[in-house]
Amino acid sequence: MQQMNALLIYPRFPITYWGFQHGLRLIGKQASLPPLGLLTLAALLPGQWHIRLVDLNVTALRDDDLRWADIVLTGGMLIQVESMHEVIARGHSFDLPVAVGGPAPTTSPELFGDADVVFRGEAEGRIDELLRALPQSPGSHRVLDAPAGFPDMKIVAVPRFDLLDISKYASMSVQYSRGCPFRCEFCDIVAIFGHIPRVKTPEQVLAELGAISRLGFRGTLFFVDDNFIGNRLAVKRLLPMLREWQRMHGRPFEFYTEASMDLAADPRLLGAMVDAGFSSVFVGVETPSAKALEQTRKLQNLRLDLSEAINRITRAGLEVMGGFIVGFDSDGEDVFALQRDFLARQPIPLAMVGMLTALPGTDLWRRLEAEGRLRERSSGDQFARPNFVPAMEERALLRGYAGLMGWLYSPEAYYGRCEAYLDRSGSRPKTRLPTLGEVGALLRTIWHVGVLGPRRRHFWRLLARAAPRGRMHQAVAHAIQGEHLVRYTREFLLPRLERALAGIRTEVRDAVPALPRVVAR
C-alpha cells in the first residue's frame, strides 16, 4: 500500500463531571486521559504511513496539520458528537476524506451522514476493510457494519503511546478486556463489546506498561475495562504478574479500574488487586432500591448488602467510586431521600448520580421505543433532561435530582464522605517517592485551595485528619477532585436543571388550550 499521511483527531469533551477540568488546572494538566482508542487504531495502520495525533482536549487543530494530511480518522463517544461533526467539516474544508469510528458511530451510525466512512465495531482484523473503503477525496458516504463475531484480544497491538505528549495528561490508560457477563437493561457495553469478556494475555498487558514506563510516565494508570473482573480466572492469573512487574520497576503506577459489585464477595481477589497496585475502583451501585435493581436486571447487586459490600472493598484498601441512577420506572419521589440517606452513610467521595438515559442498542432503548416513550437520541449526558418520557412526573424528577445533587456536592457533604473514607480505608503497599511534578501539584493545591480557596476550612480539616494516618496524598487528591465536583455542580449543573424546569413549565403552559373569556354582563 502506498505511503499516506494519516491525521488522527480526538474530539473535544464538553465540561462534565467526568472531565475534571477545574481540578486539572490545579495540577497543570490539560486532560484526564489520553485517546486510547485512536492510539490502538494507530498501531494497526501500515508501518510505512506517517501518523500524527491531535487531541483537541489538549491542543488546537492547526491548518498546517490538515495541509499535511491525506486522510482524517476520528471517533469517540456520544457526548463528543458535536466536536466530531466539527472535525468532519474541518477535514472536508481541506478536501480530505474523513472516517469515523468508536462507540458513537457503532451504536448510532445514522448520526454521521456527513462522514465519508462510518466504521462500526472493533478494528482488529478489519483494518484492511477500512483502508479499502477510504476514498481519495470527500463526497461519498459508506457505512461498514461490524461482523457478527468479536476479535480475539490476543491480536491487539501495543497502542502507539509514543504519539502522545504525556506531560499533558493526569493519567495514562490501558485496556485489558472487552465485554461484560451481565445484562443490565440500561448498559450499552454488551451492545458494543458482547456478553463474553475477552482478555489480553498477561504478556500483552506488561508490554503496554513497559511502553508507557519507557516514556517516563509515573503516576495513576486507568485500566479502562468496563468490568475488570468479568473473567475471574484470567484476571487472577494476571494480578500476580502485575504485582511482580511493579516490584521490579519500582512501583511506577497506581492503578484504578471499573468492576462489578460482586468483587466484594471475593476477598482473595480484592487482596490481589491491592497487592498489584490498585488503589480505587468504580462500581455501579445504581440504587439502594431492590425493586429498581430487579426491574433493570442489575441482579448481581441483589446478592449482597450494598453498604457492607462498599465497606468491605474500602477496608481491603480500594477506594470505591460509585455510580448511581435515579429515574427508573419504579422510582417514586421518595427515591431522592432514599439515595441521600444511603450516600450519607457511605465512604464514597466520588459518587456520580445521573438520571436514567436510554442509550442506543440497549434493552432499555428497545423497550422504551416499543412503549412509544423515546423522545430523542441520547447525547451521552446522564446529567441532562431524560431523552424519554419518565414514569415519574418530569418536573418532580428534575426538582428532586437538583436537590440531591446540590446536597451531594455541597462542601460539607463531599468533605464528610472524604473523612469517612479516611476513617474506614485499609492499608496499601508502600508506593514510590513523589515526582517533582506531583510535588508541584501539591504546592499549587495548598495555595489555591488551602490559602485562597473558599473551601479552605474543609481542606485543612481533611488534611489534619489524613496526616496521622499517612494519607496526605489521598486527601490532597480528594481536594483537587472536589474543586471540580463542587464548582461544576454550582456553576453548570444546577443552572442547567433550572433552565430545563423553565422549559417544561413553558411546554405545559403552551399545551393548555386558551380558555374562553367570560364577558361580564
**Closest C-alpha to 493, from 421, 403, 423, 429:** 403
Backbone angles phi, psi at 231, to 5 degrees: -110, 90
Cell numbers for 329: 420506572
Residue 217: what residue type? F
Same domain, 112 and 259: no
| Claim to verify: residue 222 and residue 125 sit in the same structural domain | no
In one-letter notation, the amino acid at residue 257 is T
Residue 166 within any structural domain of the chain: no
How far, in Å, CA of 44 to CA of 154, rounded? 14
Given the C-alpha cell 431523552, which residue does it identify? 387
Residue 506 reports pLDDT greater than 90:
no
Of residues 487, 171, 491, 485, the one with CA closest to residue 349:
485
Q: Tell me, yes or no, whether 358 and 229 share the same domain.
A: yes
Q: Are residues 140 and 178 in the same domain?
A: no
> Which one of 88, 109, 144 terminates a domain?
144
For 136-145, 310-319, 427-436, which range has the lowest pLDDT when averaged over its residues? 427-436
Q: pLDDT value at position 473? A: 87
pLDDT at 438 > cutoff 90 = no
Rounded to an integer, the average pLDDT of 172-180 is 98
- Binned at pLDDT 50, 70 and 90, residue 102 comes out as very high
Statement: residue 215 has pLDDT above 60: yes
pLDDT, position 385: 86
Type of residue numbered 310 = I
Strand partners, 74: 9, 100
Q: What is the DSSP letter of 434?
A: P
Q: What is the pLDDT of residues 378-418, one digit of tens each?
A: 777 767 789 999 999 999 999 999 999 999 999 999 999 99
* 336-390 pLDDT tens trace: 999 999 999 999 999 999 999 999 999 999 999 999 999 987 777 767 789 999 9
Grid cell locating 186: 440500561
- Domain at 33, CATH number: 3.40.50
Write down the pLDDT at residue 511. 59
Based on the fold, state whether residues 387 and 300 are members of the same structural domain: yes
Q: Which residues contact 132 (CB under 8 A, 6 or more apart)?
A: none
Q: Is the pLDDT of residue 426 over 90?
A: no
pLDDT of 221-230, one tens digit each? 999 999 999 9
- Mean pLDDT, rounded, for 29-37: 97
What is the predicted pLDDT for the residue at 1?
60
pLDDT at 2: 82
Calpha distance 221→241 (Å, rounded): 16
Residue 288 near residue 324 (C-beta atoms within 8 A) = no
In this structure, the answer to whether residues 341 and 209 fall within a common structural domain is yes
Residue 388, in any domain of the structure: yes
Helix 456-466 with 411-424: angle, nearest 10 deg: 0
pLDDT tens per residue, range 291-304: 999 999 999 999 99
Gap between the Cα atoms of 265 and 301, Å rounded: 11
* Residue where a domain terminates, one of 125, 144, 163: 144
Lowest mean pLDDT among 107-111, 496-500, 503-507: 503-507
Structural domain span for residue 236? 171-424
Number of structural domains in the chain = 2
- Flag whether pLDDT at 515 surpasses 70: no
